[in-house]
Amino acid sequence: MKHILSIIFLFTTVLGFAQNKNEVSIESLLKDMVDRDVVARFPSTNFRLKQESSYNRASTTPQDSVGWFNNHDFNSKDDDHNFIRTEEKNGQKEWVLMDHVGPGAIVRTWMPFLSANKPDTDIEIKIYLDGNEEPALQGNMLGLLDGTGLIPFPLAHQSLRSAVSFFPIPYAKSCKITTTQRPFFYQFTYREYDDYTPIKTFTKDDFDKTLPLTKEVGELLLAPKNTMKGEDVSFSAKLKSKKEKSIKLPEGNAAVRELSIKLDNYKNPDVTRTVILKIEFDGEPTVWCPLGDFFGNGIGLHPFQGWYRTVSEDGTMICRWVMPYQKTGKISIVNIGETTVNVDLKATVGQWNWDSESMYFNAAWKGQYPVATRPFSDWNYITIKGRGVYVGDALTVMNPVERWWGEGDERIYVDGEDFPSIFGTGTEDYYAYSWGGKSNEFYEHPFHAQPRSHIFNKLNKKPKDFKGKNTSGYSTETRTRALDVMPFSSSLKLDMEVWSWTDCEMGYGVGMYWYGDKQTTSNRVPDEKEALNVPPLPKNFPNE
């Protein structure tokens, strides 16, 4: 009998350990945030990314073009109802912005300044978890989520005129978010887990206990580097027009851990559009993308630093996406431009244990010039068929006029849904800033950046006395994902609304990044003709 009890005790102890090991918690999510291997595998703990936002509720179907392209994606007066409902609690009215029932985790929040030049508010935000009457988190609507309050920088921060947080807030049963006054714009992005997923709900005590880990994660995000050892393969080549140079990767089960490319000359900004990166894994092409769009700096050299990519001032472009393969790999550089370029390339290839959840890294590109701004339209970034995880993009827009161009909302459909589960409130909001017409300066963060807007970038900072709202010329916005990756089982469709204040013709170019099975396909194919169709800068554009 004693022996049987010992076996039972051992079994329950092991079972309990297994459950704790697989439990979703603040700690597990923080660790996943800086584990690049995690995004290269289909999630073992199944979830779908969802979002609550202040999108205009008149948008119900694309067949109603008036309602679908209604631009009033906020609440500015009492008869606006771009939120869920209002409630009264202890005699105080509260506006409900999110009310999710089931296990989940908030992984991204975005709220703009109520006034473009005033980062303050007296509105309180309350986050209620698991049906509790008292909020698990409460504070100033902006200060709680902008890195100046409880959640430290860089997990929360002030981007351009916005409060943005990536700090994970898990919950086992439900999450309700309210504000004490009418909300303005907002986005709350969350993971919706399968029922019975073991989750340790956020508490202030757990938050305090994980502060050392939070600090460590923040330091890693701000000083990104590849820490995995591997074998370096490289080449230096002089590529004449229409020529290609390739290098084979070490055979066998492995993964590219870091890829570095540098051109000898960026005086002609078109070079980052007309030099193409191609990658094949296990005999299948997975990457075809202009260098500027792949590394996130757009047309020309525009340095910035992020968790997955760094573009240095000396022209070195680095990506740290993990790119696994089973047997073979090949990286190629193609010069489709008219001018000879010198290219230095180095890839670090390390270990990878391929399993049923491993996926191939993909990157593709779409460009179009001209793009008419009237009538309003949804511009398809990409449509993917099969199983995979969407992990980021970089958009470059050529705007021929001074007025702001980016009111368009993202609309993302997963696994064939009729209405997008991700419905945004503006292109700049998708890229984690706000007040786009005024926010034309450079900024960077581990998961998003504006490497260029108008004539400004890291090398040419916007003067403090610049009062204009000029967003003409090239603007480049980029967003990469960690906890807010988007898994899909059968399909993903990402559209970005083209909504400019001016009836004109713009130029669009976007690089997209995702992981997928070998049989996963997309509607993007190599397009040399459009890559050479670089949108021209507007006449009388300022000298840079």
SS (H, E, C) 104-132: EEEEEEEEECCECCECCCCCEEEEEECCC
The sign one gets for the Cα dihedral 449, 141, 127, 23 is: positive
SS (H, E, C) 256-319: EEEEEEEECCCCCCCHHHHEEEEEEECCEEEEEEEHHHHHCCCCCCCCEECCCEEECCCCEEEE
Q: Is 154 in contact with 216 (CB distance < 8 Å)?
A: no
Q: Which pLDDT belongs to residue 9?
A: 32
Q: Which pLDDT belongs to residue 207?
A: 98
Residue burial 205-219, b: 16+ Cβ < 10 Å; e: rest:
eebeebeeebeebbe
Q: Which pLDDT belongs to residue 21?
A: 67
The DSSP symbol for 538 reads P
Low-confidence ranges of the chain (pLDDT < 70): 1-21, 544
The sign one gets for the Cα dihedral 451, 428, 145, 37 is: negative
Residues 375-379: contacts with CB under 8 Å, at least 24 apart: 375/65, 376/65, 376/69, 376/497, 376/498, 376/499, 377/497, 377/498, 378/62, 378/411, 378/495, 378/496, 378/497, 378/498, 379/408, 379/495, 379/496, 379/497, 379/498, 379/508
Q: Which pLDDT belongs to residue 22?
A: 86
Q: Which pLDDT belongs to residue 518?
A: 97
C-alpha span between 29 and 372 (Å, rounded): 42
C-alpha span between 300 and 451 (Å, rounded): 10
pTM above 0.85, yes or no: yes
- Which residue in 380, 381, 388, 363 sits closest to 491, CA to CA? 388
- Which residue in 392, 373, 404 sits closest to 160, CA to CA? 404
* Look-up of token digits 């995979």: 388
Q: Which pLDDT belongs to residue 16?
A: 39
C-alpha span between 46 and 198 (Å, rounded): 11
C-alpha span between 543 and 350 (Å, rounded): 45
Q: Which pLDDT belongs to residue 19?
A: 40
* Look-up of token digits 């299948």: 284
Q: Is 387 in contact with 41 (CB distance < 8 Å)?
A: no
Residue burial 63-81, b: 16+ Cβ < 10 Å; e: rest:
eeeeebbbbebbbeeeebe
Q: Which SS3 state, helix, strand or coil, does residue 30 take?
A: helix
CA atoms within 13 A on the CB side of 134: 3
C-alpha span between 183 and 54 (Å, rounded): 8
Question: Could you tell me the CA-to-CA distances from 247 to 123, 234, 354, 359 in Å, in that order?
Answer: 57, 7, 22, 22
CA 333-334-338 angle, to 5 degrees, is 135
Q: Is 480 in contact with 510 (CB distance < 8 Å)?
A: no
